[in-house]
């Protein structure tokens, strides 16, 4: 029951978040911009379109959308949203999230290579490069947080009740990681289809119709998950342990918090320029160092 509710919440609101970010970005650039519901229209459009599959592609290309979607949904039920202990918490702890995301990414990169287009190969190579550098930074952030909480349980995020120096530094590190993982500027640019700059878009270039809709949906949900994690860290207010009656106000408050994160991301995207691919190593190296600093702060007890 809780699991289904949680999935519905993610599926319903995740595209809105992307729409919101695009709208804010457009408004900041003095443009009118598209409606914040545009992602929904896009999904609806994709669902009614025909699908074209490359003749070089194998079954890897066909199963990938489902693997990507199912791995993202598996993470979506793992994190505690409504109540303190997530409904599916017996699946795994915090570290498992990193591995499950790796599953989806692995298949997406293979599917990109599958069609034999050089765009796909380019995207796969870059995505695997960025994601492998993300891992130590993310691991360090998780390390700092779980060190503070004394467990790698996922409720570690929700278990914090006060902002400390270490949680602030960890939040910043997680924010940088999120920019990289959700293909945002300065690491990647969702708006472009220029071969010099695109990473995620290059990987899914050959997809069309319903499979593309599923992949898009998965990346919306992934983005929402990362925003949620940041929101939990920076607004350390625990979760209710009670049931349905108290949940509605929580959902609202929860969406407001995520909305604030989305606004910050939009601001960053407008202000910062996209960086060269090889500079990403420095960017994520910085996130790793922040993770180390957060750990030191935890050890020093601040």
Q: Please give the residues from 195 up to 214 whose contact with another protein meets the rule CB under 8 A.
A: 205-206, 209-211, 214
Q: Are 15 and 196 in contact (CB under 8 A)?
A: no
Q: Does 274 bind another protein (CB under 8 A)?
A: no
27 vs 118 by CB, closer to another protein = 118
Q: Does 283 bind another protein (CB under 8 A)?
A: no
- Nearest approach in angstroms of CB 134 to another protein is 7
Considering only the stretches 15-23, 33-41, 120-128, 234-242, report the one whose residues sit in contact with another protein under the rule CB under 8 A: 120-128
71 vs 232 by CB, closer to another protein = 71
> For residues 133 and 170, what is the distance between their CA atoms, to the nearest angstrom?
17
C-alpha distances (whole Å) from 122 to each of 8, 29, 116, 117, 197 are 34, 30, 11, 9, 10
- Nearest approach in angstroms of CB 263 to another protein is 30
x/- mask, another protein, residues 214-253, rule CB under 8 A, reads: x---------------------------------------
C-alpha distances (whole Å) from 121 to each of 31, 63, 124 are 35, 18, 5
Q: Which of residues 157-196 bind another protein (CB under 8 A)?
A: none
> For residues 126 and 198, what is the distance between their CA atoms, to the nearest angstrom?
9
Q: How many residues bind another protein (CB under 8 A)?
A: 88
Q: Are 145 and 233 in contact (CB under 8 A)?
A: yes
Of 122, 233, 234, 239, which lies in the binding site for another protein, with binding defined by CB under 8 A? 122
Task: Give 179's contacts (C-beta < 8 A, 6+ positions apart).
Answer: 185, 186, 187, 265, 268
Quote the DSSP letter at residue 276: P
């Amino acid at each position: 029951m809780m699991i289904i509710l949680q999935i519905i919440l993610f599926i319903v609101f995740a595209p809105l978040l992307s729409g919101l970010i695009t709208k804010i970005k457009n408004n900041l650039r003095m443009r009118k911009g598209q409606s914040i519901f545009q992602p929904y229209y896009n999904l609806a459009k994709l669902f009614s379109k025909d699908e074209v599959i490359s003749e070089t592609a194998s079954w890897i290309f066909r199963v990938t959308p489902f693997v990507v979607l199912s791995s993202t949904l598996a993470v979506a039920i793992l994190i505690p949203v409504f109540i303190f202990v997530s409904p599916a918490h017996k699946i795994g702890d915090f570290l498992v999230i990193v591995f499950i995301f790796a599953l989806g990414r692995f298949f997406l990169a293979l599917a990109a290579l599958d069609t034999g287009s050089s765009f796909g190969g380019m995207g796969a190579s870059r995505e695997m490069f960025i994601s492998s550098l993300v891992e130590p930074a993310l691991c360090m952030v998780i390390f700092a947080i779980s060190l503070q909480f004394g467990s790698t349980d996922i409720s570690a995020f929700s278990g914090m009740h006060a902002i400390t120096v270490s949680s602030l530094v960890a939040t910043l590190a997680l924010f940088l990681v999120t920019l990289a993982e959700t293909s945002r500027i300065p690491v990647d640019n969702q708006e472009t289809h220029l071969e010099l700059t695109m990473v995620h878009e290059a990987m899914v270039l050959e997809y069309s119709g319903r499979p593309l809709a599923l992949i898009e949906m998965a990346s919306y949900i992934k983005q929402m998950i990362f925003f949620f994690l940041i929101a939990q860290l920076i607004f350390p207010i625990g979760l209710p342990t009670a049931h349905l009656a108290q949940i509605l106000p929580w959902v609202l408050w929860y969406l407001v918090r995520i909305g604030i994160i989305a606004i910050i991301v939009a601001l960053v995207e407008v202000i910062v320029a996209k960086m060269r691919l090889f500079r990403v190593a420095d960017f994520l190296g910085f996130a790793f160092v922040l993770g180390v600093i957060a750990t030191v702060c935890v050890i020093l007890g601040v």
